[in-house]
Amino acid sequence: MSLLSGLTRSPDAHPDLVRVGDRTMSGETLLRCATAVADRLAGAPRVAVEATASLETVVAVVGGLLAGVAVVPVPPDSGPRERAHIYRDSGVPALLAPAGTPVDPDGPPVVPVDLADRSDTTYPEPDDDRPALVLYTSGTTGAPKGAVIGRSAVAACLDALADAWAWTPDDLLVHGLPLFHVHGLVLGVLGPLRLGGRLHHVQRPDPVRYAGAGGSLYFGVPTVWQRVGANPAAARALRGARLLVSGSAGLPAAVFDQLHALTSHRIVERYGMTETLITVSTRADGPRRPGTVGHPLRDVRTRLVDETGADVPADGSSLGELLVSGPGLFQGYLNRPDADAASRTADGWFRTGDVATVDPDGWHRIVGRASTDLIKSGGYRIGAGEVEDALLAHPGVTEAAVVGTPHPDLGQQVTAYVVADGVTGAELIDFVARQLAVHKRPRQVHLVDGLPRTPLGKVQKSRLTG
């Protein structure tokens, strides 16, 4: 089956298959435009794409995939140093970008994507093991690494999500996520093109734009859903949707409850990484619990281990690093065999670096990153996410991030950064101590105006200092 079978099987099914902002394109036009791009790629191993929220980006990505060329999305807001690293590390011979894009003297030649170009060349479907994408992801140290995502991994992930979310060609997907991450690009663009149905990318995930799109399936990150919940009229307009999905970061329980009250939807939460695509999710036909991400998708296995590699019990409270195995795993880090080897166990499990719990019924709860969200204080192992949830339960708190900071006696202490109104740090410490074990209370609370976040809404804890 073609990776983009929903597009290639019946390109004339929708006259408005893809809409980005106020511009629309039929499936037939998309296929012919993308084929014109493929004609110009002639045997290149990889090609960079200026990943703006535009029809040109969709055409460029599809063109690369038709030609069997691995697509390297370049964030449009990336700085010169990051951009130069991506170009150099990936070795791309060209950058696909809208006509008129300025040439970077230190970058590869620009191949313009002109939506007036058309081609009817027929390309054979590339082998399943060919790379589809190279997605650059930043770790805690060093330059971003290029995760090589195979075509079969993309197909397996999307097919498993179609099963979990009852995703069909009748769906109209609406989102406004960046097109250089798994969430916005793989799920948000390639999903409709494989599974059928239409896509409306609203360019900016504004609550009013979401409300006016009339979709059946909506994607967002927690900050988007928080903004939707703060606009009751926009939230109520989503009552007619079939499914609301949140990912890329943990959704606060208060936002889950607020959206349920306003939209009648219990939002679907899911978990994944660049290197694994989506591995765990709640289902369209099943229950949904605030703060949990459900069960492994079809053909995915998970386990929890401690620092020694021993299995951690699935009792709902024991913390362990989440390991995953399944058909959606990446092929490896480009040019980084050392990092690739370090990311896997001897028997092939991928180390996510995320701390989680699993209850006896298999429900997964993601606590956070092992490097920043597992706090070892006075002999206790404390999950930052549990403390953050407790802080967010206070009516005066709108945002919270918890980290471990050095302590001369405890090793680490629980330190919180909180956006709040009408409450003191001491009051918040007492509030948490009344909800959780006393050793989990923050020993220090910093009241701040805002938390540093990535474009997908994840708090950048490395920028918080205690």
- Kindly state whether residue 420 falls inside one of the protein's structural domains: yes
- Kindly state whether residue 59 falls inside one of the protein's structural domains: yes
pTM of the model: 0.85
| 142: pLDDT strictly greater than 70 | no
And the tokens for 211?
């409300």
| 434: pLDDT strictly greater than 70 | yes
| 428: pLDDT strictly greater than 60 | yes
- Kindly state whether residue 102 falls inside one of the protein's structural domains: yes
pLDDT recorded at residue 100: 83
- Kindly state whether residue 271 falls inside one of the protein's structural domains: no
Q: Which segment of 113-117, 139-143, 335-339 scores lowest on mean pLDDT?
A: 139-143
Q: Which segment of 93-107, 183-197, 249-263, 376-390 scores lowest on mean pLDDT?
A: 376-390
| 466: pLDDT strictly greater than 70 | no
pLDDT recorded at residue 31: 96
| 411: pLDDT strictly greater than 80 | no
pLDDT confidence bin for 179, thresholds 50/70/90? very high
Residue 21: give the domain boundaries: 5-188
245: left (phi over 0), alpha (psi -120 to 50) or beta: beta
Domain containing 125 — which CATH number?
3.40.50.12780
- Kindly state whether residue 212 falls inside one of the protein's structural domains: no
In whole angstroms, what is the distance from residue 86 CA to residue 135 CA?
A: 10
pLDDT confidence bin for 460, thresholds 50/70/90? confident
Question: What is the number of structural domains in the chain?
Answer: 2
Domain containing 426 — which CATH number?
3.30.300.30
* Domain end position, chosen among 161, 188, 215: 188
Q: Which segment of 99-113, 237-251, 364-378, 405-419 scores lowest on mean pLDDT?
A: 364-378
- Kindly state whether residue 63 falls inside one of the protein's structural domains: yes
* Domain end position, chosen among 188, 216, 246: 188
Backbone angles phi, psi at 353, to 5 degrees: 75, 5
Cβ proximity of 2 and 9 under 8 Å = yes
353: left (phi over 0), alpha (psi -120 to 50) or beta: left
* Domain end position, chosen among 152, 173, 188: 188
Helix pair 425-435, 384-392: axis angle to 10 deg: 110
- Kindly state whether residue 88 falls inside one of the protein's structural domains: yes
In whole angstroms, what is the distance from residue 74 CA to residue 375 CA?
A: 34
pLDDT recorded at residue 56: 97
pLDDT recorded at residue 141: 52
Kindly state the average pLDDT of the residues 88-116. Answer: 91
- Kindly state whether residue 244 falls inside one of the protein's structural domains: no
Q: Among residues 402, 408, 398, which one has the least CA distance to residue 436?
A: 402
Q: Per-residue pLDDT tens for 9-60?
A: 887 878 899 999 999 999 999 999 999 999 999 889 999 999 999 999 999 9
* pLDDT over 90, % of the chain: 72
The residues pairing with 406 across neighbouring beta strands, listed in sequence order, are 412
